[in-house]
Amino acid sequence: MDSTEEQAIDLIKAYKYISNLDECKKSYNFANILRKYRIAISDIIVIDEIFLRSCGTLNVLTESLIEQVESISNNKDKIYFILDIFNMRPNSFIKFITILMYNECIIAVRYISPQIGKLYVDYKYQCGIKLTLEEKVFLECDDIETLKISNPKQFIFDIFDMFDNSECKCKFDNYMTQHQAIFVSSIDVNMDLLEYLSAIFILTTSMVEIILSIPTNKGKANKLLNILPCRGPKALYGLILSLYATNQNDLAKKIDPFNISFIIPD
């Protein structure tokens, strides 16, 4: 059995599991859901080969329709085309949620049905399937919005602890070399930022003191960049998280390879 067949079997198992959830036995008007979330989810979902294959496995798209989707150059237009097809299929809501979950489109699921999403992530966890960072947040935070608002610092620390070293797919020094100019010119190396980096053990107290002793912000930024590559595999993640935590969101989004802005306090 090749990997494609295994993926198809796993997807069908996921569909059966989600179909049997009490939450999915409610009546959902998929057309109304699409009208409400169409624009939001079109900015999140990426239509790739695996997504299209999932649509084929659950009999949403035929081979000829998949070819039509592939001929469309713009990702958003692909999504709109697929959503229109979904709207004409039986059990469209459950199939759509299943495909989103199977393809780890957690942010889109949070828009549409966080209850179903959380149940499925829990199912994956119980099966011993490795969870993504987004899925860990989804599973472990009972009320993510309340936690973000009520205790944002603790929220940041919790998210940092959920991050697996193996999920850091880019080498810090190579990655930051590409973004050094925008980083140095845009970052505010303030005490809050350094305290966050210290609290999650990316910087030591002496490192913070050395950075603070430098008179210019540009000098502080360059010193921070010199130190961070030696601070372990989670250093880049800690930096991005600390930028979000100190309301430097514009810079964080420009250099964030982890796509974690959706879990950070507004």
166-263, CATH topology level: Death Domain, Fas (1.10.533)
d(CA 173, CA 185): 18
Confidence (pLDDT) at 72: 94
Helix (H) or strand (E) holding 105: none
Q: Are 45 and 108 in contact (CB under 8 A)?
A: yes
Q: How confident is the model at residue 138 (pLDDT cuts 50, 70, 90)?
A: low
Confidence (pLDDT) at 151: 56
pLDDT at residue 143 is higher than 80: no
Residue 43, token pair as written in the block: 């900015």
List pLDDT tens digits, range 30-83. 778 777 878 877 877 889 998 999 999 999 999 999 999 999 999 989 999 998
Domain definitions of the chain by residue range: 3-140, 166-263
d(CA 264, CA 235): 17
CA neighbor of 49 nearest in space, from 78, 77, 76, 83: 78
Q: Are 235 and 203 in contact (CB under 8 A)?
A: no
Which one has a higher pLDDT value, 137 or 31? 31
Lowest mean pLDDT across 57-61, 112-116, 215-219, 255-259:
255-259
Confidence (pLDDT) at 145: 52
